[in-house]
Structure 1
Amino acid sequence: MPSIAGTFDVTITAETSSDTAAQSGLGRLPLAKRYHDVLDASAQGEMLSVRAAVAGSAGYVALERAEGSLTIRIEDGKHYYAFTYDIAETP
């Protein structure tokens, strides 16, 4: 299956949480991304996260809006692309 891949840089900024959010483990993090390679784009978004009382247990959802251009190869009328990333551990 045809696919493309590239890299991106992301800046995540922690915001001060309300007392209620802090007590329940909720977090809100603005995102700024810059995509490189075949996807040449910038994006802004928000990530909502939650940490549970169990060590290593957490979850998140992120939404973003990207604007830019994507160079792809089209075969038989089908478009393919893939995004792959690693999330670094935070101290």
Structure 2
Amino acid sequence: MPQVTGKFNVRITRLEPAEPHEEAALGRMGLDKHFEGPLTATSQGQMLSAATSTVGSAGYVAMEKVTGTLEGLSGSFILLHTGVMNRGTPSLTVTVVPDSGSGELTGLIGRMGIRIENGQHFYDFSYTLADQDQ
């Protein structure tokens, strides 16, 4: 699978939680991202989070629609995030939702890694198009 790397900026907006809960601090946020590099795009999405009473344990899920160009190919696709923090040990999976690619990105399959270095966000995106052979 080819891999591309670039920067992105994210603006997170707190939204009203769906339902308050006593055992976990539930949250809901809006996401607005701008990607630079081989993926030149914007995205909008929503994130649901929960923090437990144990310090360092939490989880989140998010869906975001990405629209723009990937190495010159125009279209959109949806990313699914699943993140868990187990007593300070993080685990994050970000995958392209199957069959969510449109335009020239129809058939897109992929995974995205997210890194934060010196306050800057970076993506590492491994992908292929279903109609392309590896």
The TM tier, using the shorter chain, reads 0.7 to 0.9
* TM-score normalised over the length of structure 1: 0.73
More strand by share: 2
Amino acid paired to 1:57: S
Unaligned 5+ runs, structure 2: 73-107, 120-134
**Is structure 2 residue 54 aligned with structure 1 residue 25?**
no
Q: How does 1:54-65 map to 2 (within 5 A)?
A: 54-65=54-65
For 1:76, the equivalent position in structure 2 comes to: none
Question: Does structure 2 conserve the Cα–Cα contact (< 8 Å) formed by 1:6 and 1:35?
Answer: yes
For 2:52, the equivalent position in structure 1 comes to: 52
- The change in CA–CA distance for 1:16 and 1:37 in structure 2 (over 3 A counts) is same
- Give the number of the structure with larger relative contact order, counting CA–CA contacts within 8 Å between residues 6 or more apart: 1
Shift of 1:80: 8.3
Q: How does 1:56-75 map to 2 (within 5 A)?
A: 56-71=56-71
- Percentage of identical aligned residues: 37
**Is structure 2 residue 113 aligned with structure 1 residue 84?**
yes
Unaligned 5+ runs, structure 1: 73-78
Shift of 1:82: 5.8
Larger Rg: 1
Q: Residue deviations 1:54-86, cap 9 Å, x none?
A: 1111000010001000007xxxxxx88763323
Which stretches of structure 1, 4 residues or more, deviate above 4 A after TM superposition? 79-82
- The change in CA–CA distance for 1:6 and 1:51 in structure 2 (over 3 A counts) is same
More helix by share: 1
Q: Superposition RMSD on alpha carbons, in Å? A: 2.6
SS in structure 2 at match of 1:85: strand
Alpha-carbon distance between aligned partners in 1 of 2:35 and 2:110, rounded to the nearest angstrom: 13
Shift of 1:15: 2.4
* TM-score normalised over the length of structure 2: 0.51
